[in-house]
Each structure stands twice: as C-alpha cells, then as structure tokens.
C-alpha cells in the first residue's frame, strides 16, 4: 500500500511538472520565431495580423506604474495600522482582516464591474460635474480608473506580505526603541519600516506581476481594443498585453494570420511576469537570510 501511494503522489507531481513544461515549451517554441526587437517596438498593423505590440507593452507598464503608486502606500499603511497601531484582538482589526481575506477571494470580473460603477460612474462623473461643467473628462474608461481597480485587486497581496514582514520583527526591537524614548511613530519609522522594507518590496513585486496579467478588471475600466496613440494623460485609454491577447484570440478578422503574433505576445507577457516573480522570490530569500543572520 505504501509504495502504491508513493507512486501515485510521484505521478501527480510529474503531471504538474509535465503540464507546466508543455505550456512553456509550446509557447516558447511557437512564440520564439516572431520575437524580434522590431516586434517589441512596433505598433500593430493590418488588423493585428502584422506589426508589433509596443503600445500594449507601454500601456501595461504605465498601468502597473500607476497601480503601484496607489497600492503600496495604501497596503503598507493598512498593514502598519493593523500590526503596530490597532489594539490587538480588537473587533475592528478582526473585521478588517476578514475583509482583506475576502477581498482576495473576489473574482476579478467583479472588481472590473466595481471599477466601472464606482470609479467611472460615481467618482469620475462626480468629478466632471464638480470641476468640468459636466464635460466628459474623467467619467469614462481611463488608465487611471483601470489602475485603481487593479490596485484594489492587488491590495491583499501587499497587505499580507507587509504584515508578514512586520510580524517577523521581534517585539524586543520595539521595546528597545520605546525604552530609549521613542514615540510610536519614531519606533515605526526607525525600527519597524527599515526592517520590513524587503517584505514590502516583495509584496509590491508580487502585486505587479499579478496586476500585469489580469484582464477582467480593466475590461470595462480603460483597456482599448486598438489605439493609434500611446496614453499620455491619466484619463487616456490604453492597450494592455493581457487584453491584447484576448482581443487577438477572439476578435481578430483573420485568426490564422494572427496566431504567430499571438504566441509571441503570450511569450512576452509570461516572460514579464516570470521575471517579476523570480525577482520577488530572490528578494525574499535574501531578506530571510539577512533576518536569520541578525538573530
């Protein structure tokens, strides 16, 4: 019996490895040939059947940049409040933690609808009515709203990673700071945050790699099918890699002609998220090692 189960679990592991290898191999094999510098730097042409994907790459980076600027401060401050300021075991903390845990379980498409309803229809239209004489400026899909929607989606990642880093800091360090006359703010700024910076960075990178691949939240909030220009302002629409893949796979007039480009685009998106994930893992392992040494 024992040997049977060992063989069975080994088989399960093999299936996982084989599937990952197949997906990666398939994409690398078919995506490789079209992958040239000019492909990365050119705009799509002939209904996406030719040309490159530069606007989508640019849009993805721009989107993720705004998202990061929004999600890091919000997530870090939330985690610092929960871990350093809020009374332990308080009702409020329990509710906030529950809310964050649930947030990470909400389907991405729901975030998209929320972004449409809240950011565009409520905040955006409200801003237009208040500041622009009801001219359509912010009350429409835009990179800002898409980025903020993604920020909400990735918020739990940042909060959880930061909290983990904060919990790894021994309480004795906090007590030393207090015993030397630190206020709570000084303690947080000089003892806690410097030690948590790696965890915050890890959370940020994981959030970016998650956010870069999500399509559903930006579907209604700002991603465009095709744009002849690059986004320059916060209320511009934008092209994005994940959405571009979806568009090419389902909306292209000539699916067969688009296929090689589709493969290469998937390859670029995967490479991007892998690089980010590996960076996060590397940063985290370095920090763990440093923490072990410090103890």
Partner 1 sequence: MNAPGGLFIEALAVRAGDKELLKPFSLRVDRGEILGVIGPAGSGKSTLLRVLNRLVDLDDGLSVSGTVQLDGANILGPEVDVPSVRKRIGIVFSVQVPLPMSIYDNLAFGPRLAGVTDPGGLGTLMEESLRAAYLWDEVEDRLREPASNLSGGQQQRMCLARTLMLRPEVLLLDEPCSGLDPISTAKIEEALQGLKKRMAVILVTNNVKQASRVADKTAFLLMGELVECGPTQDLFTNPKHKRTEEYITGRFG
Give the residue among 220, 231, 207, 187 at the shortest CA–CA distance from 80.
Answer: 187
| CB 285, min distance to partner 1, A | 17
- Residue 13 or 176 having the CB closest to partner 1: 176
- Residue 135 or 184 having the CB closest to partner 1: 184
Tell me, residue by residue from 203 to 242, as one string, x for binding to partner 1 by CB under 8 A and - for no binding. ----------------------------------------
Q: Which of 41, 110, 234, 294 binds partner 1 (CB under 8 A)?
A: 294
Neighbouring residues of 41: CB distance < 8 A, sequence distance ≥ 6: 52, 54
Does 181 help bind partner 1 (rule: CB under 8 A)?
A: yes
| CB 19, min distance to partner 1, A | 42
Q: Is 230 left (phi over 0), alpha (psi -120 to 50) or beta?
A: beta
Q: Which helix (H) or strand (E) holds 44?
A: strand 44-45
Tell me, residue by residue from 140 to 169, as one string, x for binding to partner 1 by CB under 8 A and - for no binding. ------------------------------
- Please list every residue from 83 through 112 that binds partner 1, using CB under 8 A: 88
Instruction: Decide if 155 contacts 105 (C-beta within 8 A).
Output: no
Give the residue among 33, 43, 67 at the shortest CA–CA distance from 153.
Answer: 67
Q: Which of 168, 182, 197, 283 binds partner 1 (CB under 8 A)?
A: 182
Burial pattern 175-186, b for ≥16 Cβ within 10 A else e, equals eebeeeebeeee
Rounded to whole angstroms, the Cα distance separating 11 from 23 reads 18
Rounded to whole angstroms, the Cα distance separating 276 from 205 reads 6
Does 170 help bind partner 1 (rule: CB under 8 A)?
A: yes
Does 192 help bind partner 1 (rule: CB under 8 A)?
A: no
DSSP state of 233: S
Q: Which of 132, 175, 253, 254 binds partner 1 (CB under 8 A)?
A: 175
- Residue 20 or 183 having the CB closest to partner 1: 183
If DSSP states are collapsed to H, E and C, what string results for 113-156?
Answer: HHHHHHHHHHHHHHHHHHHCCCCCCCCCCCHHHHHHHHHHHHHH
Does 293 help bind partner 1 (rule: CB under 8 A)?
A: yes
- Residue 38 or 172 having the CB closest to partner 1: 172
Does 292 help bind partner 1 (rule: CB under 8 A)?
A: no
- Residue 3 or 88 having the CB closest to partner 1: 88
Give me the residues paired with residue 50 across strands: 45
Q: Which of 18, 176, 234, 255 binds partner 1 (CB under 8 A)?
A: 176
Q: Which two tokens stand for residue 90?
A: 């308080």
Binding-site ranges for partner 1 (CB under 8 A): 88, 170, 172-173, 175-183, 186, 190-191, 195, 293-294
């Amino acid at each position: 019996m024992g040997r049977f189960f060992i063989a069975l679990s080994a088989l399960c592991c093999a299936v996982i490895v084989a599937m990952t290898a197949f997906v990666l191999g398939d994409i690398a094999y078919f995506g490789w040939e079209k992958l040239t510098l000019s492909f990365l730097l050119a705009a799509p042409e002939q209904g996406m059947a030719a040309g490159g994907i530069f606007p989508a790459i640019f849009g993805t980076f721009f989107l993720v940049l705004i998202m990061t600027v929004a999600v890091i401060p919000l997530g870090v401050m939330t985690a610092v409040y929960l871990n350093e300021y809020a009374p332990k075991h308080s009702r409020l903390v329990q509710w906030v933690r529950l809310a964050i845990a649930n947030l990470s379980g909400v389907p991405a498409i729901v975030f998209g609808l929320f972004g449409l309803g809240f950011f565009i229809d409520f905040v955006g239209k409200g801003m237009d009515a208040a500041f622009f004489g009801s001219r359509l400026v912010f009350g429409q899909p835009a990179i800002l709203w898409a980025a903020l929607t993604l920020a909400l989606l990735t918020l739990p990642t940042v909060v959880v990673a930061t909290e983990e880093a904060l919990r790894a800091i021994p309480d004795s360090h906090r007590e030393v700071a207090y015993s030397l006359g630190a206020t709570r703010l000084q303690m947080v700024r000089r003892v806690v945050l410097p030690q948590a910076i790696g965890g915050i960075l890890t959370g940020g990178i994981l959030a970016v790699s998650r956010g870069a691949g999500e399509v559903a939240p930006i579907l209604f909030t700002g991603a465009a099918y095709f744009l002849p220009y690059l986004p320059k302002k916060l209320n511009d629409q934008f092209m994005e890699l994940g959405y571009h893949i979806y568009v090419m796979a389902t909306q292209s007039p000539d699916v067969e002609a688009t296929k090689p480009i589709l493969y290469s685009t998937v390859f670029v998106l995967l490479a991007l998220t892998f690089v980010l994930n590996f960076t996060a893992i590397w940063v985290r392992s370095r920090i763990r090692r440093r923490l072990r040494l410090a103890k």
